[in-house]
């Protein structure tokens, strides 16, 4: 399976739209339709790599019921890869939260996908403890 840059851009934009709509099942279905192989996530880079659909589902659950909205500020594609510059915006315990991030995507010809997210974990966010210890060492 080979994906073109335009298809990858449309896939990624929809992926974030479903995230922002709080549609977990739609998000997972959309991801699997484009990339049915095993997903890997390094969120953020430097933490253990999460492999497979079960950990992708857990990642969703661990971000909380009202996870931050992701606003894409720039998306650049090239062949099977993309870089997405984002602003993650929401509230945590009543306080405004804005976390800048850069997500690097790769969709392999065999159908697997990898997302490497660059961002700094605020110390007071429970998701940070989970992601720091869950997955396989790099």
Closest by alpha carbon to 8, among 114, 92, 106? 106
Pair of tokens at residue 99: 């976390």
Strand partners, 20: none
Residue 67 lies inside a defined structural domain of this protein = yes
Per-residue pLDDT of the chain (138 residues; tens, 9 = 90+): 567 788 999 999 999 999 999 999 999 999 999 999 999 999 999 999 999 999 999 999 998 777 899 999 999 999 899 999 999 998 888 888 899 999 999 998 888 999 999 999 887 788 888 888 899 987
Provide the CATH number for the domain around residue 92: 3.10.450.50
Task: Residue 47: give the domain boundaries.
Answer: 5-132
Residue 34 lies inside a defined structural domain of this protein = yes
pLDDT at 2: 60
pLDDT at 45: 96
Q: pTM of the entire structure?
A: 0.91
Residue 137 lies inside a defined structural domain of this protein = no
Residue 49 lies inside a defined structural domain of this protein = yes
Residue 93 lies inside a defined structural domain of this protein = yes
Split into its structural domains, the chain has a count of 1
Q: Is the Cβ–Cβ distance between 98 and 70 less than 8 Å?
A: no
Residue 138 lies inside a defined structural domain of this protein = no
Residue 86 lies inside a defined structural domain of this protein = yes
DSSP code string of 28-57:
HHHHHHH--S-EEEESSBTBPBEESHHHHH
Sign of the Cα pseudo-torsion (96, 105, 128, 23, in order): positive
pLDDT at 26: 97
């Amino acid at each position: 399976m080979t994906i073109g840059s335009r298809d990858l851009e449309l896939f990624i934009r929809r992926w974030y739209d479903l995230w922002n709509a709080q549609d977990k099942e739609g998000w997972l279905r959309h991801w699997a339709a484009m990339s049915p192989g095993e997903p890997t996530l390094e969120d953020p880079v430097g933490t253990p790599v999460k492999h497979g659909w079960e950990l992708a589902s857990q990642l969703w659950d661990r971000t909380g019921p009202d996870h931050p909205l992701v606003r894409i500020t720039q998306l650049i594609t090239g062949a099977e890869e993309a870089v997405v510059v984002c602003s993650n915006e929401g509230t945590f315990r009543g306080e405004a939260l804005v976390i800048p991030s850069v997500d690097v995507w790769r969709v392999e010809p065999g159908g697997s996908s990898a997302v490497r997210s660059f961002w700094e974990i605020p110390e007071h966010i429970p998701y940070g403890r989970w992601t720091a210890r869950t997955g396989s060492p790099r």
